[in-house]
Amino acid sequence: MNPLEEFKAGIAGAIQELKKEVGGVRANRPSSALLEDIKVNYYGQLTPMKHVGTVSVAPPRELIIQLWDTNAVQPAAKAIESAALGLTPNTEGNTIRIFLPELSSERRDELKKYVKKIAEQFRIQVRQLRDAANKQIELQFGEGEIGEDQKFKLREDVQKHTEATNKDIEKIVDAKIVEIDE
């Protein structure tokens, strides 16, 4: 596989991971992504919430988790409480209800900073991928596999993709900040 294709594959994975991370950050509007990846101790295994029940949103500010097994209700409630999201689960049979209060302006500011911090971690990851691709290009040039023109063309393509990815990261962050402010 050529270095540019490896770089593109790494970038695509990083963007997917960023979307998943940012989606799990609480906004003023309820989202099932907030709870789906919380790990529940289900029969001794740490299992994502979405694998033990269905997470849905009930307007205006409520999340409902319909668990498939009654034995999962208490472990799921404990997992939600210990997830450091500041949420209080209310259990009713196989159902857990969580009311999401309005975010304070201080909490919104904290969440915006957190989203920006996540984005910066992904920008660093993109730079590392770029550097690895450039090293691979230099290695191929040194071994005579590619010519000088091709080396510069590949490096230019890697840089273009890096800049486009940074713009994509910025768009994702801006969209999440708007969502937090709603």
Encode pLDDT of 36-86 as tens digits.
788 888 888 888 888 888 888 887 788 888 988 888 888 888 888 887 677
Q: Are residues 177 and 109 in the same domain?
A: yes
Q: Are residues 130 and 176 in the same domain?
A: yes
Q: Are residues 158 and 115 in the same domain?
A: yes
Q: Are residues 113 and 167 in the same domain?
A: yes
Q: Are residues 177 and 108 in the same domain?
A: yes
Residue 10 sits in a domain whose CATH number is: 1.10.132.20
Q: 10 in a domain, yes or no?
A: yes
Helix 3-23 vs helix 105-142: crossing angle, to nearest 10: 170
Q: Are residues 133 and 175 in the same domain?
A: yes
Cα distances from 157 to residues 4, 48, 138, in angstroms, run 8, 38, 14
Q: Are residues 112 and 175 in the same domain?
A: yes
pLDDT tens by residue, 104-151:
888 888 888 888 999 999 999 999 999 999 999 999 888 888 888 998
Per-residue model confidence (pLDDT) at position 116: 92
Which backbone phi and psi does 13 adopt, to 5 degrees?
A: -65, -40
Per-residue model confidence (pLDDT) at position 51: 86
Q: Are residues 84 and 118 in the same domain?
A: no
Question: Which of 74, 99, 124 is the C-terminal boundary of a domain?
Answer: 99
Residue 37: which domain range?
33-99
Q: Are residues 125 and 170 in the same domain?
A: yes
Q: 28 in a domain, yes or no?
A: no
Q: 38 in a domain, yes or no?
A: yes
Question: Which of 54, 78, 99 is the C-terminal boundary of a domain?
Answer: 99
CA pair distance 132, 32, nearest whole angstrom: 36
What's the pTM value of the predicted model, to 2 decimals? Answer: 0.72
Number of domains in the chain: 2
Q: Are residues 111 and 153 in the same domain?
A: yes
Q: Which amino acid type is present at position 84?
A: A
Question: Which of 42, 72, 99 is the C-terminal boundary of a domain?
Answer: 99
Q: Are 52 and 42 in contact (CB under 8 A)?
A: yes
Element (H, E) at 91: strand 89-92
Q: Are residues 50 and 94 in the same domain?
A: yes
